[in-house]
Amino acid sequence: MRLALIGDPVGHSASPRIHRTYLEEAEIDGSYVAIRVPSGGGAVAIRRLQTEEYTGCNVTYPLKEEVVSACDTLTDEASAAQAVNTIFFGSRVIGTNTDGIGARSAIEGLLDEPVALKRIGVLGYGATARAILAELHDCDAYTFVWGRNAERVDETCRRYEAQTWPKRNPPEIVLSTLPPEAVLPDDLVAALQLPDLVIDANYGTRSVLARSLHRDVVPGDAMLESQARASFDFWLAHLDRVAGV
């Protein structure tokens, strides 16, 4: 079972360690490598991995949107987000997205209850944010979106039946999908002192939101592990289907 991660950067990624652990636990002879692929190279990388008989791959920034066109089939999750973070190479290239599942599982693990009817704010409107908003919408959460581009915020809110960031009474739960280098405006920093729970989708040394906000922030490790497990299960399920044909 040959697996890979493509994106840029990938040197910091914990995905190889996580998936190698899954392979060992499942007693599967396989490998998982990280391959740096800059923006614009996603489709070519997908074709190369398929030619080299990889079983599947994960896709990270900045390729999640551009590899959509390289897939023959998209799952509902990938279609909803218009972004792919997991691919299976069979007779057809199948793309899915497990970012939303990962975020929901992480939030529910921290709350010890479902996200239904919770007020959850998402910072950002990129590929990861859209996958999370789609999942939360399907799970009946009330969602809010913050971003610098008002037009893109409005478009995102319409697509996922979310609301724009409230001027008063901020959401009790906030999940940031912003890059580590993002500089937040003072009014947002002040508003983010109020939520009961703030989660940073970044993890490890890239999780710096706590320093910007001067408050406790949950790093994205649990999100990563949950979406990684969903990706691994996706590959196994498709391998089982192929074996059953």
Distance (Å, whole) CA 136 – CA 118: 9
The per-residue pLDDT for range 186-241, each reduced to its tens digit, is: 999 999 999 999 999 999 999 999 999 999 999 999 999 999 999 999 999 999 87
- Whether pLDDT at 245 is above 60: no
pLDDT of residue 240: 83
Domains along the chain with CATH numbers = 2-97 (3.40.50.10860), 100-219 (3.40.50.720)
**Two structure tokens written together for 226:** 């949950």
The per-residue pLDDT for range 28-63, each reduced to its tens digit, is: 999 999 999 999 999 999 999 999 999 999 999 999
| Catalytic-role residue among 19, 64, 104, 130 | 64
Choose between 88 and 168: higher pLDDT: 88
The per-residue pLDDT for range 3-36, each reduced to its tens digit, is: 999 999 999 999 999 999 999 999 999 999 999 9
Mean pLDDT of the chain: 96
- Whether pLDDT at 243 is above 80: no
User: In terms of pTM, does the model score above 0.85?
Assistant: yes
> Using the 8-state DSSP alphabet, how is residue 116 labeled?
T
64 catalytic per annotation: yes
Distance (Å, whole) CA 147 – CA 124: 5
Report which secondary-structure segment, H or E, holds 93. Answer: strand 93-96
Which residues are paired to 191 by β-bridges?
none
pLDDT of residue 244: 62
Q: Is the peptide bond before 219 cis (omega within 30 degrees of 0)?
A: no
The per-residue pLDDT for range 99-140, each reduced to its tens digit, is: 999 999 999 999 999 999 999 999 999 999 999 999 999 999
